[in-house]
Amino acid sequence: MALSLYVDTARWRAHQKSVIDQFPGLVPVCKGNGYGFGHERLSEEAARFGADMLAVGTTYEAARIKDWFGGDLLVLTPFRRGEEPVPLPDRVVRSVSSVDGVHALVGARVVIECMSSMKRHGIAEQDLGHLHAAIEDVRLEGFALHLPLDRTDGSDAVEEVIGWMDRLRAARLPLHTMFVSHLRAPEQARLQQQFPQTRFRARIGTRLWLGDHESTEYRGAVLDVTRVAKGDRFGYRQQKVASDGWLVVVAGGTSHGVGLEAPKALHGVMPRAKGVARAGLATVNRNLSPFVWAGKQRWFAEPPHMQVSILFVPADAQEPKVGDELVAHLRHTTTQFDRLVDR
């Protein structure tokens, strides 16, 4: 009895192919929890479709993934002096976001990140002139731009990349490869046409692995069902049941990521109103679970436990049975499954 991730493998791989076809030279990203699939599985998938490079989040991830993926590994977190040394093979490429970082990586393979409108990290325009001496002592794999997802100011992603290409060219820096994130396929094609001597390589994770929502589904197995009547006490805190129904114990708890939710940016009146409503319900211990039964998301009876959740199903719904599986609407990047089932 488990929290399972079911994958329609043929459909999932067909989506991967559609993304790869749109982005020549694509660099798949495998970071965090492997977008819900795990590092080993995504490493296998990347090798299967012939990727020559796989992007990972940290050096610690690179140290694990090197045993599963035989190509180059691009570490996305920029190098910093004083970081804990992690033994890594020569096929690991480090991202660097400062001139000082380049100087500190003598002999290493590096990608230099430029400061984009994300304003997260990257080398600044005024520091480009200092790169000439620094890159003599490293093996430069290219430059990179991590672009924002949304452009509420109406700015153009292609123009931002062109601006950096012009700055790098004016600084007489090599432009053989530019790694980019969050460009659309037509935008990358425009850039490739305008700069035919530069190879543009899109680093893509979410769109590649999670772009087809219908190809994957989480389900939690029902472990126990107990009939309760209004007023019965239950659980760790001995709360009272509000009405007749069933307490349903289902696989999937906090250790799986159930009940955990990453903050979201809310746009518009309705999403904000729903957020306020959910917060209000939570103050009276009413929290909607991600589990669906009989066509409806069911309420947590109490906060999820480490490996299971207890739901309340009212008496007017069909009674769940042990062994049934409840579909769970979970975020891949915060969920850890017990088993993955290809079908």
> Running DSSP on this structure, what letter comes out for residue 110?
E
Could you tell me if 105 and 147 are in contact, meaning their C-beta atoms sit under 8 angstroms apart? no
* 211-263 pLDDT, tens digit each: 999 999 999 999 999 999 999 999 998 999 999 999 999 999 999 999 876 55
pLDDT of residue 262: 57
Residue with tokens 């589904």: 217
Q: Would you state the structure tokens that stand for residue 131, as one six-digit string?
A: 């790169």
* 10-29 pLDDT, tens digit each: 999 999 999 999 999 999 99
Could you tell me if 33 and 336 are in contact, meaning their C-beta atoms sit under 8 angstroms apart? yes
Neighbours of 32 (CB within 10 A): 16
Does the pLDDT at position 279 exceed 50? Answer: no
CB contact burial 226-240 (16+ within 10 A = b; e otherwise): eebeeeeebeeeeee
pLDDT of residue 260: 77
Cα–Cα distance, 234 to 131 (Å, whole number): 66
Task: Provide the whole-model pTM.
Answer: 0.91
* Residues contacting residue 265 through CB under 8 Å, at least 6 positions apart: none
* H helix or E strand, kind and range, residue 59: helix 59-65
3-state DSSP percent of the chain in helix, strand and coil, to 5: 30, 30, 45
Which domains occur in the chain, in start order? 7-210 (3.20.20.10), 216-342 (2.40.37.10)
* Residues contacting residue 283 through CB under 8 Å, at least 6 positions apart: none
